[in-house]
């Protein structure tokens, strides 16, 4: 029997692929056989080099997803460079922290535009291609705050709650058209986005005390979940939000 997790011959887009979670997912997909378009404001030269070292093709697509302006170009450049599009991973995201009573409209709009608006329109652009070819995989990056409220991150919580609903909506519309739409909800992962929490001794200890695994997650911990949702093994998985959190939500 062929390996149901084999992604040989598939082409993936990964946004925010230059570092952290995006880089780890891009490398995991490449290790499973996929060619990868690495999308981001900062050129993902290191990620692309590591993908090529695995024997896979890599394309670098420069795009600032704080607006939807580059969305169509991301898909077009991927098709031109790699000859197809089978997998989309919407990982690019930002976070702004402030008490809710002090939160600004600018910080609200910046986060929601990047984390939710651009994600929808990139799903739309990729989805049109995938529906036309009768197959595709979309993986959105959700959060623990898709399920919980958090503190001092109102626009981030709103955007990631929206990702949960959007994932289910698209699954409802596209499941019968050969496109699976799911999400991964990372727990507390050691990345640039969580540097402030890691540096705050009180918050860091409170977080670690709740995680049954007893440690912050590593970006590489998300690779297996991404490969699974991108593969034939997940053919009948739709609208699911897979928590990779060291047991955080179980507490």
Domain harbouring 119, CATH code: 3.40.50.720
Task: List Cα–Cα distances, 155 to 110, 139, 242, 246, in angstroms.
Answer: 9, 21, 22, 25
Is 236 among the catalytic positions? no
Indicate whether 210 pLDDT > 70. yes
DSSP E strand stretches across the chain: 11-15, 35-40, 58-62, 87-90, 136-141, 179-186, 241-244
Q: What is the pLDDT of residue 192?
A: 83
**Assigned domain for 248 exists:** no
Tokens of 85: 């599009």
Q: What is the pLDDT of residue 194?
A: 87
Confidence of residue 197 (pLDDT cuts 50, 70, 90): confident
Tokens of 235: 């053919």
Q: What is the pLDDT of residue 1?
A: 56
With pLDDT > 70 as the criterion, what percentage of the chain qualifies?
Answer: 100
When pLDDT is averaged across residues 54-78 and rounded to a whole number, the result is 98
Q: How many domains does the chain have?
A: 1
The answer for residues whose C-beta is within 8 angstroms of residue 233's C-beta and 6 or more apart is: 4, 5
pLDDT digits (tens, 9 = 90+) for 136-176: 999 999 999 999 999 999 999 999 999 999 999 999 999 99
Containing domain of residue 89, as a range?
11-243
Tokens of 10: 């598939």
Q: What is the pLDDT of residue 193?
A: 78
Indicate whether 190 pLDDT > 70. yes
**Assigned domain for 233 exists:** yes
> Using CA atoms, how far apart are residues 144 and 142, in angstroms rounded to an integer?
7
When pLDDT is averaged across residues 176-194 and rounded to a whole number, the result is 95
Q: Which of 156, 174, 216, 228 is catalytic?
A: 156
Confidence of residue 60 (pLDDT cuts 50, 70, 90): very high
- The answer to whether 25 and 32 have CB atoms below 8 angstroms apart is no
When pLDDT is averaged across residues 115-127 and rounded to a whole number, the result is 98
When pLDDT is averaged across residues 35-41 and rounded to a whole number, the result is 97
Please list, residue by residue across 71-108, b when 16 or more beta carbons sit within 10 angstroms of its beta carbon and e when fewer do: beebbebbeeebeebbbbbbbbbbbbeeeeeebeeebb
**Assigned domain for 1 exists:** no
The answer for residues whose C-beta is within 8 angstroms of residue 196's C-beta and 6 or more apart is: 97
pLDDT digits (tens, 9 = 90+) for 73-93: 999 999 999 999 999 999 999
Confidence of residue 97 (pLDDT cuts 50, 70, 90): very high
Which residue in the block uniquely carries the two structure tokens 């979309």?
138
Tokens of 119: 């994600």
DSSP 3-state assignment of 208? helix
Which residue in 30, 103, 25, 119 sits closest to 68, CA to CA? Answer: 119
Q: What is the pLDDT of residue 67?
A: 98
Indicate whether 224 pLDDT > 60. yes
When pLDDT is averaged across residues 40-49 and rounded to a whole number, the result is 96
Q: What is the mean pLDDT of the chain?
A: 97
Which residue in 226, 106, 100, 113 sits closest to 159, CA to CA? Answer: 113
């Amino acid at each position: 029997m062929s390996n149901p997790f084999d992604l040989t011959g598939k082409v993936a887009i990964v946004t925010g692929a230059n570092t952290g979670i995006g880089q780890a997912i891009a490398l995991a997909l490449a290790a499973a056989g996929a060619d990868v378009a690495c999308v981001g404001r900062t050129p993902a030269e290191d990620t692309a080099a590591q993908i090529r070292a695995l024997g896979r093709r890599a394309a670098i697509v420069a795009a600032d997803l704080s607006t939807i302006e580059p969305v169509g170009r991301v898909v077009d450049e991927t098709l031109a460079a790699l000859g197809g599009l089978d997998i989309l991973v919407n990982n690019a995201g930002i976070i702004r922290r402030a008490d809710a009573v002090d939160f600004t409209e600018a910080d609200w709009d910046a986060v929601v535009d990047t984390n939710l608006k651009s994600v929808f329109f990139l799903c739309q652009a990729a989805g049109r291609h995938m529906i036309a070819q009768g197959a595709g995989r979309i993986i959105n990056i959700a959060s623990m705050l898709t399920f919980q409220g958090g503190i001092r991150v109102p626009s981030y919580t709103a955007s990631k709650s929206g990702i949960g609903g959007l994932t289910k909506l698209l699954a409802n519309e596209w499941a019968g058209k050969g496109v699976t739409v799911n999400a991964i909800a990372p727990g507390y992962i050691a990345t640039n986005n969580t540097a402030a929490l890691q540096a705050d001794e009180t918050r860091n200890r409170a977080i670690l005390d709740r995680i049954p695994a007893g440690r912050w997650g590593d970006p590489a911990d998300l690779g297996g979940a991404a490969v699974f949702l991108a593969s034939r093994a997940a053919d009948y998985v739709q609208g699911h939000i897979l928590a990779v959190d060291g047991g955080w939500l179980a507490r």
